[in-house]
Amino acid sequence: MAWRGWAHRGWGCGQAWAPVAGGRSCGELPAALGSPRLLRVRFNFFIQQKCGFRKAPRKVEPRRSDTGTSGEAYKRSALIPPVEETVFYPSPYPIRTLVKPFFFTVGFTGCAFGSAAIWQYESLKSRVQSYFDGIKADWLDSIRPQKEGDFRKEINKWWNNLSDGQRTVTGIIAANVFVFCLWRVPSLQRTMIRYFTSNPASKVLCPPMLLSTFSHFSLFHMAANMYVLWSFSSSIVNILGQEQFMALYLSAGVISSFVSYVCKVATGRYGPSLGASGAIMTVLAAVCTKIPDGRLAIIFLPMFTFTAGNALKAIIAMDTAGMILGWKFFDHAAHLGGALFGIWYITYGHELIWKNREPLVKIWHEMRTNGPKKGGGSK
């Protein structure tokens, strides 16, 4: 906690050199401080074995989130929350801070794709039942008296007109809007900074790698990311399917956060990061790799079009330059990690991961078919 960090800092301040109490000699100090037993218990840390002055114990100074390695003021981006009052404690052994995030990334990615495989199995199993339920619902609607201006009917009509991809990302957009509203609650600021911003110098390392993917402090940042996600949702779901897309998106958020951790530890430029840009870059890179000849355009300049392949090359070049030159407005390492993961998955990962899900599905099928064995013997 920030207040604990400042209290620790306050106890460590004071004179670097202090004379021995009362100007007494070393031989007079035990008598002045009390019995030998008390001396051994409470004051043994402070008594030196030679006269003169003693050196105060050195304290580890916490690193503030708004300072860099050069000591210059950290130029905070408008896309991240004000964290000037938060104190971070980088580990004296930075590489060790990446061990837990690494295993969390590997474990979460495996669980995400495993859950997606089971989800797809359950969806296929219930598709026939859903088909008959849909026929029954259509028949009831045909004989049920219709109400003019029924709000629920309009919502259902709007929902049914959406593509599978748009219906899938609607939940993701709703989660991002909800977290954005939580940022507006003053009493939740410390909790949001701790769990919804990723920083390798923070005491909480693993949960923010996922939660920060749904976190936006700036309205413009959230609107831009959600617009891009909405635009590519239909294409990516048509390519991968609903279940595989969700596994890819969640895994991409964690993987891009881990790449950001590695870059910050390697360069020493600690600072909070948040936003869905890393996961969205995976989606964008996957679509552009699969459909390189597709035509794209900028929302404010629709008259200028370019191919998806050229757009992906330009984005990778810009993020690479930003990571090398230390640009701080965006987390370019997270963007680059997300883009490279999207390219790898659509090229090799789909064959290596998703095509080999059959053993897991068989185990799940046997568990569902057999169920727990009921005890009981013959009479």
Q: Which residues are catalytic?
A: 277, 335
Residue-wise over 329-347: b if at least 16 C-beta within 10 A, else e?
A: ebbbbbbbbbbbbbbbbbe
| Cross-strand partners of 18 | 54
Structure letter (DSSP) for residue 63: E
| Cross-strand partners of 239 | none
Grouping H, G, I as helix, E, B as strand and the rest as coil, residue 270 is coil
Q: Are 206 and 104 in contact (CB under 8 A)?
A: yes
Backbone angles phi, psi at 53, to 5 degrees: -110, 155
The rounded distance, in Å, linking the Cα atoms of 295 and 332 is: 25
Structure tokens at 244: 């595989």
Give, in order, the Cα–Cα distances in Å from 373 to each of 216, 359, 369, 370, 377: 48, 22, 11, 7, 12
